[in-house]
Amino acid sequence: MKSLSILCKETCNIAKEVGLFIAAELDKVQTNQIEEKDRNQLVSYVDTTSEKRLIAALQQILPESGFIAEENTVERNSDKEYQWIIDPLDGTTNFLHHIPSFAISIGLMHHDEIVLGVVLEINRMECFSAWKGGGAFLNGKPIHVSQNPHLKDALIATGFPYYDFSIVEKYLKVLQYFIRETRGIRRLGAAAVDLCYVACGRFDGFWEHSLSPWDVAAGSLIVQEAGGIVTDFKGEKDYLFGREIVASSSAIAGDFFEVVSKHL
């Protein structure tokens, strides 16, 4: 087994190679090549081709691993000690609408723990990475969460409900509070990017529900290795498969989580 630091470097290189493919396809996708997997969940050949390329390359660097991948281009094998959790194109709707916030997200899970994370934001070719106990990095340089201690000065990110509206009324109460009590709210449309922006201090906090493991696996580790706090809406650790996440700097974690958990 290679060290996590070497695996992380190799994973970054793989993400960059596939990221170049995605960027090159930006103007080529035709309307008849877009499918709707479920309500407002779009997919094209770019997603599936990217996933296949990622899987083939990751199998080369860690042959004994299994995969949990969004587009299901490979059979899942839960018996494997190591599992790659992959989103080949987080922010597909942004990509198809030429809105510049979309990314590749790759997490590596050992048993039930994420031990490596890589997110490549493709438009700026910013590669965020981390491995367990090794810190967090942006294009190889160390990053850290914001040191701002005041919620009133915080810039917050979220994702608006777009297919699961089961808690939309509660969600709007949280949104209303942050609209009034923070510096502002942003909705980029790519959770992996949101998490990485928390990790490098661009955002102070992020919350969202109805997310999948491939949306948060890599980014959640990157936030924590950058000194941030990640929980579910109950303050526990079921954010990977629990479909809800709260991530923030340590400086505002208490106040930020209190607002989210009060309503959600």
Residue range 126-160, pLDDT digits in tens: 999 999 999 999 999 999 999 999 999 999 999 98
The Cα-based distances of 247 to 117, 127, 196 in angstroms read: 15, 19, 10
Tokens of 56: 């083939």
How many residues are recorded in the chain?
Answer: 264
pLDDT at 140: 97
Nearest Cα to 110, choosing from 73, 82, 152? Answer: 82
pLDDT bracket for residue 117 (50, 70, 90):
very high
pLDDT bracket for residue 164 (50, 70, 90):
confident
Sign of the dihedral defined by the CA atoms of residues 42, 71, 187, 21, in that order: negative
pTM of the model: 0.95
Nearest Cα to 35, choosing from 24, 23, 48, 52? Answer: 48
Please give the average per-residue pLDDT across 1-27, as a whole number.
96
pLDDT at 33: 81
Q: Is the pLDDT of residue 163 over 80?
A: no
β-strand partners of 117 = 107, 130
205-223 pLDDT, tens per residue?
A: 999 999 999 999 999 999 9
34-48 pLDDT, tens per residue?
A: 777 666 567 889 999
79-93 pLDDT, tens per residue?
A: 889 999 999 999 999
CATH topology of domain 4-141: Fructose-1,6-Bisphosphatase; Chain A, domain 1 (3.30.540)
Tokens of 90: 């987080």
Nearest Cα to 36, choosing from 158, 163, 122? Answer: 163
pLDDT above 90 covers a percentage of the chain that reads: 84
Rounded Cα distance between 50 and 27, Å, is 16
CATH number given to 151-263: 3.40.190.80
Rounded Cα distance between 102 and 35, Å, is 18
The bridge status of strand 82-90 relative to strand 66-69 is parallel
- What residue spans of 25-69 are helical by DSSP H? 45-61
pLDDT bracket for residue 241 (50, 70, 90):
very high
Average pLDDT of the chain is: 94
SS3 (DSSP) at 31: helix
* 4-141 against 151-263: fold identical: no
Per domain, the residue ranges of the chain are 4-141, 151-263
The more confident residue out of 235 and 165 is 235
Please give the average per-residue pLDDT across 159-166, as a whole number.
82
The bridge status of strand 205-209 relative to strand 113-121 is unpaired
Sign of the dihedral defined by the CA atoms of residues 208, 213, 215, 218, in that order: positive
Q: Is the pLDDT of residue 102 over 90?
A: yes
